[in-house]
Amino acid sequence: MTIDTRIDSWRGGPFPHDEVLQEYWRVGKHFVAPSVLQALARVRELLRNDAGVRARQRGLLEFLDVALDKHDGSYDYRSYLALPLLAVPYGDAYRGRPEAAASQRDRLLALLVTDLLDFELRALDAQAVPLPQMRADPALVAKRCRLGLRALAPALRRMGRVPDVGEHIDACARAWATCSAVRETMRPEEALMLRTTMLPVYTLHDEYLFLRVLQSFETCFSFICTGLEAAIAAVHEGMADDACACLEQCDAALQEAAPLFSMMATMRVDAFRVFRQYTEGASAIQSRAYKRLEALCSRPHPERLDSPGYRSVPELRAQIGDGWHSLQGACDAAHRSHRLSAGDLAALRRRMAAFEDRVLAWRKTHHGLAVRMLGPASGTGYTEGTPYLHAVMTERLFAAPMA
């Protein structure tokens, strides 16, 4: 039975996720056969028209929207990374629950990065894994394992999942042990999430790393947005110490994510330039989480709102009106109303400045990596690419303090 026939025979039971994913991994999302796409579209129509089936198949409609983005003409950064399927620590479920947000951030990062390391190690061991072209050699896999373990170390310590291995064991063996320690706690829905959020556009090995690292950054940005919202609420309530603590957590989260850049830097330029030609339309400047992070710091000025970065996230841009809440706005209001003492405001502004420095350093690193990968070429999604990144690299997050 062909895969399109298998899909067409589905009537509401267990969906053949694995068969569909195998087909996507075999050719890449950009090259999936029209007959398969049309069969998936018919299943989606069934779900849309049958609330009972849809209720029994939680998440299937979102998966099909992601899988059919190129077919629909809705392909963008969000669908490329399958972000609707990732349980990022942002939204109503995490507002006012900082411990839950931090726990979910750690959990999701552990799942994403160990899945990447597991993929690298299995490919090196000649096991059947997707994306067979341009496999990484043993030295490159060992380097990725070292960097991945470094990126994971803080989260694993907080989770209590650091494997008990000898100090002198090599990076690949430590990575195997770490993957096993996380895998043994994995729930079925988490395993499904990992499979369905890996939909590369082509069949080159390094795209796996590209997707997982970008998803990890989105996890970090989402957590920071939750922290910034908590800091804004604390300032409104006159609780400067709580706001400073929230900003300290945001700063630490971005610092801990820095090794992910080192992992991304191991991506081979020749491999990237092959698969990126099929990612047109999915620019990283479309990251809603990062743009929300910026806007939660301070409401962007009109020129920034009219820049390619914000024009690429129209729904967020539409939300940023006069009533938008930002940390800068909350501090200015606290200054005018004397809700916070001069000392509290000074401490808060020092913490804001430290976080701003961290973000500006992140932008600089991002720009440097983009120059290495893209050179002067346009960015994915027909953006201005590295010239755009350079132009916004030093823009401040916060305005000067009120006198």
User: Interior CA angle at 262 toward 209 and 89, to 5°?
Assistant: 65
Helix (H, G, I), strand (E, B) or coil at 1: coil
Picking from 264, 254, 219, 269, the residue whose alpha carbon sits closest to that of residue 81 is: 219
Give me the pLDDT at residue 388, please: 67
Query: Rounded to whole angstroms, how far apart are CA atoms 113 and 117?
Result: 6
Structure tokens at 104: 């979910």
Picking from 33, 72, 24, 84, the residue whose alpha carbon sits closest to that of residue 281 is: 72
Which whole-number Å values give the CA distances from 148 to 135, 143, 234, in the listed order?
A: 18, 9, 35
pLDDT tens across 128-147, in order? 788 999 999 999 999 999 99
In DSSP notation, 134-151 reads TPPPHHHHHHHHHHHHHH
Q: Give the model's confidence band at 397: pLDDT under 50 very low, under 70 low, under 90 confident, else very high.
A: confident
* Other C-beta atoms lying within 10 Å of the C-beta of residue 326: 20
In the chain, the domains with their CATH numbers are 3-74 (no CATH), 98-265+275-392 (1.20.58.480)
pLDDT surpassing 60 at residue 402: no
Asked whether the beta carbons of 313 and 286 are under 8 A apart, the reply is yes
Asked whether the beta carbons of 208 and 131 are under 8 A apart, the reply is yes
What's 9's DSSP letter? T
pTM above 0.85, yes or no: yes
Burial of 18 (0-12, 13-18, 19+ CB in 10 A): exposed
pLDDT tens across 159-178, in order? 998 887 766 789 999 999 99
Total residues found in the chain within this entry: 403
pLDDT surpassing 90 at residue 305: no
- Which residues does 325 contact at the CB level (< 8 Å), separation at least 6? 229, 232, 296
Asked whether the beta carbons of 36 and 7 are under 8 A apart, the reply is yes
Q: In degrees to the nearest 10, what's the CA dihedral of 206, 211, 214, 220?
A: -120
Phi, psi of 239 (to 5 degrees): -105, 80
Give me the pLDDT at residue 383, please: 47
Structure tokens at 374: 């893209």
